Amino acid sequence: MSYHVKSLFFAVFVCFCLMASSCKEKEYQAVITTEFGDVTILLYNSTPKHRDNFIKLVKDGFYNDLLFHRVIDRFMIQGGDPDSKKSLPGNPLGMGGPGYEIDAEIGSPHLRGTLAAARSPNPQKKSSGSQFYIVTGKEVSKSELQQNEMSKKIKYNDDQRKIYLEEGGYPGLDMEYTVFGEVVSGMDVVDKISKLEKDARDRPLSDIRMHIKMIN
């Protein structure tokens, strides 16, 4: 094989590798650090508005020292209210944000471990600009999934159905809130936080602060 042919073959091979690499979407992950340990989350590329907003807030340090201000066992833990940073014990929380909302990108179900955007009631189902929750969930039955499919006119795929039945979640929220990520490690930490002693507004009696950083 001549030098020129070898060079051409190598160039084609390099181009093929670059094309294959560029076809694979980049994955974005972040780590939420708490006194109970770390929670690593994967952000979905299928919800780019929520993904990009979350990344920006994390890089700006927005979430650092905010509280998980609402915890409900067998349901979820919620945080991201900027008013929680300097809130006195017992003060109501959950109404704060960065001053804007995000257009809904609703689609993924509320399986155990999913990351979703909180929101106030609005017909467009726009999300809070910063508040999020992580689903711990409850046991889910076949009949509950069937009823949910009928009432909401949705159809779970085989993988979603399997996870709901084996690991649980909260299907009642499906098609109502935007799910934009999932926990890839640290659900034991999420479970611990969800079981903390709390007041009548579901705020933990001891402040649970977060720090979040992007890892890729």
Query: Is residue 20 predicted with pLDDT exceeding 80?
Result: no
| Residue at 93: amino acid letter | L
Query: Is residue 215 predicted with pLDDT exceeding 60?
Result: yes
Planar angle of CA 194, 82, 76, nearest 5 degrees: 20
Residue 216 is predicted with a pLDDT of 86
Could you list the beta-strand ranges (E) of the chain: 28-34, 37-43, 66-72, 76-79, 101-102, 114-117, 127-128, 132-135, 179-185, 209-214
Give the confidence band of 25 by pLDDT, cuts at 50, 70, 90: confident
Give the confidence band of 13 by pLDDT, cuts at 50, 70, 90: low
The string of pLDDT tens digits covering residues 187-201 is: 999 999 999 999 999
> Which residues make Cβ contacts (< 8 Å) with residue 55, sequence separation at least 6?
28, 30, 43, 214
Query: Is residue 8 predicted with pLDDT exceeding 50?
Result: no
The string of pLDDT tens digits covering residues 101-139 is: 999 999 999 999 999 999 999 999 999 999 999 999 999
Give the confidence band of 88 by pLDDT, cuts at 50, 70, 90: very high
For residues 144-153, give the mean pLDDT: 96
Query: Is residue 3 predicted with pLDDT exceeding 60?
Result: no
- If we measure between CA atoms, which residue out of 109, 110, 111, 80 comes closest to residue 97? 80
Give the confidence band of 142 by pLDDT, cuts at 50, 70, 90: very high
Return d(Cα 33, Cα 190) in angstroms, integer: 11
Q: Which residue has the tokens 């992007």?
A: 214
Residue 209 is predicted with a pLDDT of 98
The string of pLDDT tens digits covering residues 48-79 is: 999 999 999 999 999 999 999 999 999 999 99
Return d(Cα 31, Cα 89) in angstroms, integer: 26
Give the confidence band of 12 by pLDDT, cuts at 50, 70, 90: low
φ/ψ region of 59 (left if φ > 0, alpha if ψ in -120 to 50, else beta) reads alpha
Mean per-residue pLDDT over the chain, rounded = 92
> Which residues make Cβ contacts (< 8 Å) with residue 107, sequence separation at least 6?
46, 47, 178, 179
Contact 185, 163 (CB under 8 A): no
Q: Could you give phi then psi for residue 112, rounded to 5 degrees?
A: -55, 130
Return d(Cα 195, Cα 204) in angstroms, integer: 9
- Residue 48, classed as helix, strand or coil, is helix
pTM of the model as a whole: 0.89
CATH fold for domain 26-214: Cyclophilin (2.40.100)
Query: Is residue 5 predicted with pLDDT exceeding 50?
Result: no
Query: Is residue 19 predicted with pLDDT exceeding 80?
Result: no
Return d(Cα 67, Cα 102) in angstroms, integer: 21
